[in-house]
Homo-oligomer: A and B are copies of this chain.
Amino acid sequence: MKLTQYSDLGFRLMMYLAMCTDKLVTIQEVSERFNISKNHLVKISHQLTKVGLIESVRGRNGGVRLALPPEDINVEMVLQATEDDFELVECFNSVSNQCVISDVCKLNCLLDEALEAFLEKLRKVSLADLVGDGRVIEGALLPFPGGVVVKFRNLPARAKGVK
């Protein structure tokens, strides 16, 4: 049971953007600070732009930024945008399903409940909850030769279920 690499990198991108709400961020910057593939990030930021979670500004001084305040984007919203689907088992897709017992099987309802319990946990935590004022994460990121100006956000430390 895994999430896609797309989601994994999407979380990092969104957390970084939640730390940098005062400026436009280039994909190059995110790529260098996390040491992750720029190509992957370009695709992910395109998808996150498409669903309205980030805004993209073109041009020489362009870049991306969150389309909403980090308090208003929860972790489930990011996951819903980056996972291909949540078809845990074959019968979750009614078109391609071939399981002969799916109409009478209680397992699909159970898995549906379990998935909802999983997503509910993520729904309760926002990007703001995850990054706090950004200082701790900033200290762990790699340096960016272009010079980074992360203006730390003045947020009260919050926990909301996150240890």
Task: Point out residues on A near B: beta carbons under 8 Å.
Answer: 1-5, 7-8, 11-12, 15, 33-35, 75, 79, 83, 85-90, 98-101, 103-107, 109-111, 113-115, 117-122, 125, 129-130, 136-137, 139-142, 161-163
Knowing A34-B100, A99-B34, A141-B100 are in contact, say whether A11-B115 is a contact too (CB < 8 A).
no
* Chain B residue at smallest Cβ distance from A75: B110
A156 to B105, CA, bound (A): 17
Knowing A107-B15, A110-B75 are in contact, say whether A100-B142 is a contact too (CB < 8 A).
yes
* Chain B residue at smallest Cβ distance from A109: B163
In the complex, what residues of B have CB within 8 A of residue A83's CB? 1
- Interface of A, secondary structure class, is helix
Min C-beta distance of A144 to chain B, whole Å = 12
In the complex, what residues of B have CB within 8 A of residue A12's CB? 99, 101
